[in-house]
C-alpha cells in the first residue's frame, strides 16, 4: 500500500460529498461497496446505519393488523431517560368570590415530574452472499430488500403487541405497555367483564364517565379485538331497526364503520388484532435450546383471599408453564397434574429455579378440560435463586381480550423514540451479510385517567 504525503488534499470536497452520499444512500439496499480496483475479495465498506423510515411507513400502511402503532402520537427525544411534567390540577377548587378591595387567596397549580426510560428493540436478519447475486421472485429488487421488508413486518408485530401488553417487571429489557401503565395508575377507569360479551350500553356509560368531571377526557377511538368488533356488528343486526343496507347495488348485511355515541359525539370503534393474547400453549420450544421448566410438585391450593374464582368456575383444571429467555426464546410447555378448584381458592404453582429463564408464561385449561385446551393467562418474572411461585387467582379469564378507550393526544399518551427506524449492517465474519433492524423508544401514559380499559371481554 502506498503512503502518499498530503493525499487527502488531492481529493475535492465535492468528491467527498459524492462518496458520503453513496455510503448513506436512502434506497433499501446494502451500502455501496468500496472495494479497491484489482484487489480480489477485499471489502472496505464501513458499517453505516441506514434510515429506513420510509420502509416502516410503507410496511405499516400495508399491514392492516397494526392498529396502535400508526395512530399513537410520536415524539423524538435525545436522551435515554425522557423527563416530562404532568399537571395534576390547575388549583384548589375554591369559591371565586372576593370582598370589595380584597386581593383573593393565593391558588397554585400542582405539577409532578415524571420520566420514562428508552428501551431498545431489534430484529436480526442475514442474507448469504449467494442470495445477493441471484434474482428473486416478487416486487423487491434484491434479497436484502426482501429480508428487510419481512424483518420489518416481524419486528413491528412484536412492537405492537408490546405497546399493548408489555411488562418491564417481567422482562427488565422491555417497557410497560399501555394497559400495564393504566392498571398501575389505578382509578375507577378500569372495568372487568369477567368473560361476558361487550355491550354497547357499557361503552356508552364508560364514555360518559371519561368525559365527565374530574376526568375531562375527549375519547376518539375504542380499540377492540376483531371478534369483539364482529359481536358489536351482530348486535346492530339483532337490535337495530335495519339489518340490511343497499348502496350502489351492493347489499350489506350488518352495520359498517361502527361508532358509539358519547357526550361529545360519535367515537369510532377500531379493530386491533394484537389485543388478543389467549393463545394455545405451545407444543414445542422456539428452537433456541431453552431448557424445559421443572415443576417438582403438584399445584397447591392456598386459602381464600382476593381470588376471582367463583362458584361458576368450580371444577378441575390443568396448567402448563413455559420458560422464556431475555432474547424471547421459549421452552416446550411443562404440564401440571389436574387440580380441583373451589370458589375463592388461590392456586400456587412452583417451578424449580433455572437461571436460563428470565420469566415464565402460564397457561390454564378449560374447566374440566384436557391439557390441549390450555391457553395463555399471564407472565411472571423469575426473581432469582429459589423457587418462583406462580399464583393464579383467575384475574385473567381464558379466551378473553381487553378493550381500550383512547384519546390520541401527546399530553395523554405517546411514544417517545430516540431515532428513526434503522437498518444497521453488522460485521461480516463469513459469507453472509448480517444486519439489525432497530427501533429505540418507549410508550408513556401521562394522564391515565383520560384513558379507560375493560378487562376479560369474552370472545
Q: Could you tell me if 182 and 208 lie in one domain?
A: yes
Domain annotation covers residue 153: yes
Asked whether residue 417 falls in the same domain as residue 451, the answer is yes
Domain boundary pick from 371, 398, 425: 398
Asked whether the predicted pLDDT for residue 35 surpasses 50, the reply is: no
Q: Are residues 334 and 426 part of one domain?
A: no
Q: How do residues 185-209 score in pLDDT, each as one tens digit?
A: 988 999 999 999 999 999 999 999 9
Considering the domain boundaries, does residue 453 fall inside one? yes
Instruction: Report which of residues 242 and 11 the model is more confident about.
Output: 242
* 336 falls within a domain: yes
On whether residue 244 sits in a domain, the answer given is no
User: Same domain, yes or no, for 312 and 372?
Assistant: yes
**Residues 389, 425 within the same domain:** no
Residue with cell 405539577: 111
- What predicted TM-score, i.e. pTM, was given to this entire model? 0.82
Asked if residue 418 and residue 390 are part of one domain, the reply reads no
The Cα–Cα gap between 246 and 51 comes to: 47
Residue 413 placed within a domain: yes
Q: Does 326 share its domain with 390? A: yes
Whether residue 364 is predicted with pLDDT greater than 50 in this model: the reply is yes
Domain boundary among 349, 365, 398: 398
Domain boundary residue, one of 348, 379, 398: 398
Note down the domain range covering 363.
300-398
Residues 310 and 422 in one domain: no
Q: What CATH number is attached to the domain comprising 202?
A: 3.30.2400.10
Please tell me whether residues 318 and 185 are part of one structural domain: no
User: What percent of the chain is predicted at pLDDT more than 90?
Assistant: 56
Q: Is residue 358 part of a domain?
A: yes
**Residue 268 forms part of a structural domain:** no
pLDDT digits over 140-165, tens only? 677 888 888 888 888 999 999 999 99
pLDDT at 58: 53
Q: Are residues 338 and 426 in the same domain?
A: no
Q: Is the pLDDT of residue 9 over 70?
A: no
On whether residue 92 sits in a domain, the answer given is no
Query: Is 235 or 354 the better-scoring residue by pLDDT?
Result: 354
Q: Is residue 47 domain-shared with residue 156, that is, in the same domain?
A: yes
| Residues 49, 157 share a domain | yes
Please count the structural domains in the chain: 2
pLDDT tens for each residue of 383-423: 888 878 999 999 999 999 999 999 999 999 999 998 778 88
* Least confident piece of the model among 204-213, 253-262, 324-333: 253-262
Amino acid at each position: 500500500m502506498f503512503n502518499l504525503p498530503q493525499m487527502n488534499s488531492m481529493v475535492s470536497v465535492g468528491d467527498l460529498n459524492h462518496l458520503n452520499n453513496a455510503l448513506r444512500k436512502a434506497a433499501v439496499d446494502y451500502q455501496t461497496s468500496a472495494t479497491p480496483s484489482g484487489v480480489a475479495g477485499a471489502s472496505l465498506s464501513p458499517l453505516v446505519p441506514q434510515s429506513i423510515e420510509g420502509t416502516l411507513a410503507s410496511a405499516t400502511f400495508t399491514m392492516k393488523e397494526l392498529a396502535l402503532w400508526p395512530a399513537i402520537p410520536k415524539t423524538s427525544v435525545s436522551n435515554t431517560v425522557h423527563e416530562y411534567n404532568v399537571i395534576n390540577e390547575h388549583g384548589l377548587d375554591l369559591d371565586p368570590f372576593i370582598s370589595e378591595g380584597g386581593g383573593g387567596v393565593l391558588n397554585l397549580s400542582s405539577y409532578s415530574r415524571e420520566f420514562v426510560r428508552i428501551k431498545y428493540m431489534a430484529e436480526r436478519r442475514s442474507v448469504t452472499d449467494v442470495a445477493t447475486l441471484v434474482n428473486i421472485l416478487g416486487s423487491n429488487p434484491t434479497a436484502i430488500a426482501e429480508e428487510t421488508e419481512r424483518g420489518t413486518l416481524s419486528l413491528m408485530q412484536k412492537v405492537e403487541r408490546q405497546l399493548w401488553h408489555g411488562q418491564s417487571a417481567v422482562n427488565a429489557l422491555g417497557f410497560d405497555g399501555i394497559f400495564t401503565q393504566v392498571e398501575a395508575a389505578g382509578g375507577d377507569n378500569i372495568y372487568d367483564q369477567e368473560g361476558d360479551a361487550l355491550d354497547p350500553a357499557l361503552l356508552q356509560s364508560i364514555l360518559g364517565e371519561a368525559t365527565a368531571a374530574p376526568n375531562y377526557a375527549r375519547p376518539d377511538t375504542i380499540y377492540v379485538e376483531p371478534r369483539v368488533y364482529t359481536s358489536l356488528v351482530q348486535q346492530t343486526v339483532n337490535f337495530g331497526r335495519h339489518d340490511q343496507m343497499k348502496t350502489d347495488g351492493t347489499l350489506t348485511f350488518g352495520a359498517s364503520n361502527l361508532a358509539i355515541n358519547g357526550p361529545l359525539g360519535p367515537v369510532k370503534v377500531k379493530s386491533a388484532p394484537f389485543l388478543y393474547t389467549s393463545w394455545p400453549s405451545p407444543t414445542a420450544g422456539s428452537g433456541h435450546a431453552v431448557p424445559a421448566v421443572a415443576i417438582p410438585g403438584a399445584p397447591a391450593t392456598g386459602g381464600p383471599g382476593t381470588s376471582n374464582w367463583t362458584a361458576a368456575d368450580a371444577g378441575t383444571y390443568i396448567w402448563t408453564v413455559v420458560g422464556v429467555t431475555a432474547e424471547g426464546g421459549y421452552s416446550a410447555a411443562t404440564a401440571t397434574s389436574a387440580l380441583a378448584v373451589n370458589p375463592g381458592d388461590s392456586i400456587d404453582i412452583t417451578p424449580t429455579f433455572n437461571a436460563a429463564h428470565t420469566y415464565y408464561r402460564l397457561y390454564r385449561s378449560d374447566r374440566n378440560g384436557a391439557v390441549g385446551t390450555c391457553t395463555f393467562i399471564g407472565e411472571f418474572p423469575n426473581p432469582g435463586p429459589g423457587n418462583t411461585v406462580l399464583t393464579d387467582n383467575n384475574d385473567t379469564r381464558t379466551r378473553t381480550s381487553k378493550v381500550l378507550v383512547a384519546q390520541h393526544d401527546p399530553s395523554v399518551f405517546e411514544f417517545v423514540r430516540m431515532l428513526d427506524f434503522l437498518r444497521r449492517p453488522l460485521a461480516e465474519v463469513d459469507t453472509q451479510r448480517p444486519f439489525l433492524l432497530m427501533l429505540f423508544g418507549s410508550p408513556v401514559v401521562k394522564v391515565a385517567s383520560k384513558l379507560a380499559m375493560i378487562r376479560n371481554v369474552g370472545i
